[in-house]
Structure 1
Amino acid sequence: MANKSIIKQYIDSRSSSAIRSRANRIALNKLILDETKNQARSEVIGSNGDLYDVVIKNYNSSSIISSCNCPYDWNGLCKHEVAVLKQIDAQKNKCIPNQKNVLSKKYSKTAPYIIKPFKVIDDDTIASHSKHYNYYINFDLDTIKLEEDTIILQLPNNDHYWENNWVEVKVAYKDNSLILTCECNATNQSLCKHQHYALLVISNEISPYYFDKKYKEEQWSKALKQYGYSLKDNYYEYFTSAYVDGDFVITPKVKGLMPLLEENKWQTFSESLLRKSSVEDYLHSKIKNKTTSNLILAVGISFYNSPNKIPVQTKLLTGKPNKSGLLSSRI
Structure 2
Amino acid sequence: MTKMNMLQAINSALITAMTDDEKVMVFGEDVGHFGGVFRATSNLQQKFGKARCFNTPLTEQGIIGFANGLASHGSVPVAEIQFGDYIFPAFDQIVNETAKFRYRSGGQFTCGTLTIRTPYGGGIAGGLYHSQSPEAFFAHIPGMKVVIPRNPYQAKGLLLASIRDDNPVLFMEPKRLYRASVGEVPEEDYELPLGKAEVVKEGDHITLLAWGAQIEVIEKAAAMAEKDGISCEIIDLRSILPWDAETVCASVKKTGRLLVNHEAPQTGGFASEISATVQERCFLYLESPITRVCGLDTPYPLAHEKEYMPDHLKTYEAIKRCVNF
Instruction: Report the TM-score, using the length of structure 2 for normalisation.
Output: 0.23
Give the helix-richer structure, 1 or 2.
2
Larger RCO (CA within 8 A; separation ≥ 6): 2
Answer with 1 or 2: which has the greater Rg: 1
